[in-house]
Amino acid sequence: GAGVSQSPSNKVTEKGKDVELRCDPISGHTALYWYRQSLGQGLEFLIYFQGNSAPDKSGLPSDRFSAERTGGSVSTLTIQRTQQEDSAVYLCASSISPNEQFFGPGTRLTVL
């Protein structure tokens, strides 16, 4: 596709349930990033994938959060046992270099 795509665009779940968020980066982009943005707040870095290297997980807020990237392309961010404080917009970005990142439209997660 022409840009980064994410699905679903909106997700409403109940506290304690697991959710999976998907990101499909721009074709040929080797780097993929996940961010979280709470209402009115800045971007919070979560995790970074670069090619076949081990991912940089330094931003994951707890062990309930995990992500994988299969075949160097599509990535899935999984949140287990969701809590209300997990409610936010989850943004994925991809890039050829670490510099110019291009963002997807985001997934708005609401935990009731």
Partner 1 sequence: QKEVEQNSGPLSVPEGAIASLNCTYSDRVSQSFFWYRQYSGKSPELIMSIYSNGDKEDGRFTAQLNKASQYVSLLIRDSQPSDSATYLCAVNMAHTGFQKLVFGTGTRLLVSP
Kindly list the residues in this chain that would bind partner 1 in the complex (CB under 8 A): 33, 41-43, 45, 48, 50, 56, 91, 98-106
For residue 45, the SS3 value is strand
Least separation in angstroms between residue 17's CB and partner 1 is: 25
CB of 44 to partner 1, least distance (A): 9
Between residues 55 and 64, which has the closer beta carbon with respect to partner 1? 55
Query: Would you state the structure tokens that stand for residue 93, as one six-digit string?
Result: 């970005």
Burial of 94 (0-12, 13-18, 19+ CB in 10 A): buried
Strands 102-103 and 88-95: antiparallel
In the chain, count of helices (H) and strands (E)?
A: 0, 10
Nearer to partner 1, 14 or 51 (CB): 51
Between 39 and 70, whose beta carbon lies closer to partner 1?
39
> Looking at beta carbons only, is 9 or 78 nearer to partner 1?
9
Classify strands 19-24 and 5-7 as parallel, antiparallel or unpaired: antiparallel
| CB of residue 38 to partner 1, shortest distance in Å | 11
Computed on alpha carbons and rounded to an integer, the radius of gyration of the chain in Å comes to: 13
Question: Smallest distance, Å, CB 26 to partner 1?
Answer: 12
